[in-house]
């Protein structure tokens, strides 16, 4: 008998959630709320700060899934580096600090339709792929550092390096844009 069948037979299911599952759901709702505020706010700096909350919520989700290494990578790389780079880009390009009416293109209905379709497709794919999958938290660490590190450095080295070059190019571009404005004066 498989583990999923044994867990289902023992009464573990949708109607009897554990504390970890409740915490996972609450952290997911908070993360989703922060993500919605990130894309709907008209203040760019506030959007960057709400992005920190959303990315931090994802790190909490990884911790609840017993993937501590991935959680720390999330905090160090995304919260620590990407958001700081985004804030430096905003400062160097002298983006408006307050409300910026030009931050909204007026395509909200089309953007909402695409977002809902993409979210529905993502939810459908994840539910279909992991319908009968259970994580046994009593068994041991599922996302160990050795397994995660081997996967990252074997299969994902090139995308991470490409991302670092892209972020460096964005920072250099922001510096160039800010210097051209000063030279014209």
Q: What is the pLDDT of residue 135?
A: 63
According to DSSP, the residues that pair with 16 across neighbouring strands are 13
Predicted local confidence at residue 87, as pLDDT: 75
The answer to whether the pTM exceeds 0.75 is: no
Residue 97's φ and ψ, nearest 5 degrees, are -80, -40
Decide: 118 and 43 in contact? Cβ < 8 Å: no
Record the tokens describing residue 124, joined without a space. 């459908």
CATH of domain 19-143: 1.20.120.1200
What stretches of 10-156 show up as alpha helix (H) in DSSP? 19-40, 44-64, 68-73, 83-92, 108-129, 145-155
Nearest to 37 by CA among 26, 49, 24, 28: 49
List, for residues 40-65, the tens digit of each pLDDT value: 887 878 888 899 999 999 999 999 98
Per-residue pLDDT of the chain (185 residues; tens, 9 = 90+): 555 555 555 655 556 778 888 999 999 999 999 999 988 887 878 888 899 999 999 999 999 988 888 888 888 888 888 777 777 777 777 666 666 666 667 787 888 899 899 999 999 998 888 877 776 656 555 566 777 777 777 887 888 888 888 878 877 887 777 775 555 55
Phi/psi of residue 34, each to 5°?
A: -65, -40
Distance (Å, rounded) from C-alpha 109 to C-alpha 124?
Answer: 22
Domain ranges within the chain, ordered by starting residue:
19-143, 144-184
């Amino acid at each position: 008998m498989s583990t999923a069948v044994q867990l289902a037979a023992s009464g573990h299911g949708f109607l009897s959630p554990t504390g970890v599952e409740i915490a996972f759901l609450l952290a997911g709702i908070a993360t989703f709320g922060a993500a919605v505020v990130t894309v709907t706010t008209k203040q760019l700096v506030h959007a960057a700060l709400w992005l920190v909350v959303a990315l931090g919520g994802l790190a909490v989700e990884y911790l609840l899934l017993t993937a501590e290494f991935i959680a720390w990578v999330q905090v160090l790389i995304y919260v620590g580096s990407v958001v700081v780079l985004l804030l430096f880009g905003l400062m160097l390009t002298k983006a408006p600090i307050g409300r910026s009416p030009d931050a909204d293109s007026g395509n909200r209905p089309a953007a909402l339709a695409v977002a809902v379709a993409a979210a529905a497709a993502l939810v459908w794919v994840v539910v279909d792929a992991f319908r009968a999958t259970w994580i046994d938290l009593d068994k041991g660490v599922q996302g160990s550092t050795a397994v995660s590190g081997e996967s990252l450095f074997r299969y994902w080295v090139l995308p991470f390096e490409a991302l670092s070059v892209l972020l460096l190019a964005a920072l250099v571009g922001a510096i160039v844009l800010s210097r051209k404005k000063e030279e014209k004066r």
